[in-house]
């Protein structure tokens, strides 16, 4: 019989992994962000709204853009009310008003979704005199179990809000009470990409996605401009950011016009436009476009 130690049984040591944090049941604040107007922030926010409506999931919409393109798509009547001189805030014309009422009150969607647009002002301003108007958002986050979709103005105020409320540090907690996903819409320009990299560097504890808006390309697009900068590519390779796309619009141009005028896509599909029902081919184009965009977003792991 051998006395070699190699013949002795080796004691198996159980490897204990740290528990994984399940953040699937905490609210997510989706920031539709970017540094220029027309980069796709409103389009992205509306795609998110359509996704939640499709799933029948409750959400809250915060339209913090002075043009309120997203809010007016889902509640024209209330937007018109807030534009009235006797109702609109003195701050409204220069910084913007946030408004709305329960989307669930609308007959065409009440059976599908419990969703709301905010009836009070939510303003992200760099002006310290008005910065307190954004603090209401934290109350909504902490008192709601709903995800929040926020369409932001171009490079205006969200930095101040994040810093004044110490949000980056809050996201570093082992069990944060909510999570923040920064969806940065980009034309693909080097300036836009670099600003995104700077934003990620400044707020590393947020979740970050660079959304290349391929839909703004011309008939002969310069696809090379969507190649990630080395700094962005490294962040992506290191798993610190995700990449997604808004795809080119492929449906009827008249539908695009209706969307620009503020008609939600699900209403166009169900009721048509200009008192005409859509033919099945156009409906298929819309469904295909929506699903392709949603798949790109879902690949990040931050959207259902």
pLDDT of residue 146: 87
pLDDT of residue 126: 73
- The model carries a pTM of 0.81
- Of 44-58, 103-117, 144-158, 260-274, the range with the lowest mean pLDDT is 103-117
Torsion of CA 42, 45, 46, 51, to 10 degrees: 160
- Whether the pLDDT of residue 155 is over 60: the answer is yes
Q: State the average pLDDT over residues 157-171.
A: 89
Q: Which segment, 61-70, 202-211, 263-272, is predicted with the most confidence on average?
A: 202-211
> Tell me: the pLDDT tens digits for 233-273?
999 999 999 999 999 887 777 777 777 777 888 888 888 88
């Amino acid at each position: 019989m051998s006395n070699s130690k190699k013949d002795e049984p080796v004691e198996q040591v159980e490897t204990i992994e740290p528990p994984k944090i399940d953040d699937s049941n905490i609210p997510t604040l989706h920031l539709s962000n970017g540094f220029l107007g027309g980069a796709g922030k409103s389009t992205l926010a509306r795609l998110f709204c359509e996704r939640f409506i499709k799933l029948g999931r409750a959400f809250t919409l915060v339209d913090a853009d002075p043009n309120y393109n997203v809010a007016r798509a889902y509640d024209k009547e209330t937007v018109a009310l807030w534009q009235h001189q006797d109702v609109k805030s003195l701050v409204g014309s220069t910084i913007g008003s946030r408004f709305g009422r329960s989307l669930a009150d609308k007959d065409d969607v009440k059976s599908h979704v419990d969703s709301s647009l905010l009836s009070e002002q939510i303003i992200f301003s760099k002006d310290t005199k008005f910065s307190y108007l954004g603090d209401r958002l934290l109350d909504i986050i902490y008192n709601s179990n709903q995800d929040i979709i926020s369409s932001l103005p171009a490079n205006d105020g969200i930095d101040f809000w994040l810093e004044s409320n110490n949000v980056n540090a809050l996201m570093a907690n082992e069990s944060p009470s909510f999570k923040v996903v920064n969806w940065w819409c980009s034309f693909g320009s080097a300036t836009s990409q670099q600003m995104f990299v700077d934003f990620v560097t400044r707020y590393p504890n947020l979740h970050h996605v660079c959304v290349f808006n391929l839909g703004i390309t011309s008939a002969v697009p310069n696809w090379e401009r969507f190649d990630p900068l080395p700094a962005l590519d490294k962040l992506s390779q290191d798993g610190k950011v995700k990449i997604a796309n808004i795809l080119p619009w492929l449906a009827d141009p008249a539908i695009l016009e209706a969307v620009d005028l503020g008609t939600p896509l699900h209403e166009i599909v169900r009721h048509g436009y200009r008192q005409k029902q859509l033919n099945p081919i156009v409906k298929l184009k819309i469904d295909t476009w929506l699903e392709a965009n949603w798949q790109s977003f879902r690949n990040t792991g931050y959207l259902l």
